């Protein structure tokens, strides 16, 4: 692989408003998918609490839901603020668009 600039490793060449909108749309749709799953898992946690027969919840049940929620939080955070040179994030895309006057 040849050595190139940081943007050359990105999946899309953002050189027009159309490409910028395409990338932004992909970021937004990714957030929507993860947010919907997050809401589903939060509801699952609420149901678990409401249906608890005692003041305790089994550690396995807690860990299962906690893992699901943390994964979705991590994925949403990556879409907003990931600084890897091989992917886009909302923050990096905004900086790139501002720099290129798009």
Q: Where are the domains of the chain?
A: 11-99
Q: How far apart are CA 70 and CA 20, in angstroms?
A: 29
Q: Output the pLDDT for position 16.
A: 86
Mean pLDDT in runs of 10 for the chain (102 residues)?
47 80 90 97 94 86 96 92 74 86 84
Q: How far apart are CA 79 and CA 77, in angstroms?
A: 5
How would you class 88 by CB atoms within 10 Å of its CB: exposed for 0-12, middle for 13-18, buried for 19 or more? buried
Read off the pTM: 0.73
Q: Output the pLDDT for position 32.
A: 96
Residue 67 is encoded by which pair of tokens?
């893992």
């Amino acid at each position: 692989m040849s050595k190139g600039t940081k943007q050359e490793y990105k999946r899309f060449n953002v050189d027009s408003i159309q490409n910028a909108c395409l990338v932004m749309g992909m970021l937004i749709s990714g957030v929507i998918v993860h947010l919907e799953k997050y809401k589903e898992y939060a509801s699952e946690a609420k149901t678990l609490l409401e249906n608890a027969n005692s003041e305790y919840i089994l550690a396995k049940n807690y860990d299962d839901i906690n893992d699901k929620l943390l994964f979705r939080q991590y994925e949403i955070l990556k879409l907003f603020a990931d600084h890897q040179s091989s992917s886009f994030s909302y923050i990096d895309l905004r900086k790139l668009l501002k720099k290129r006057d798009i």
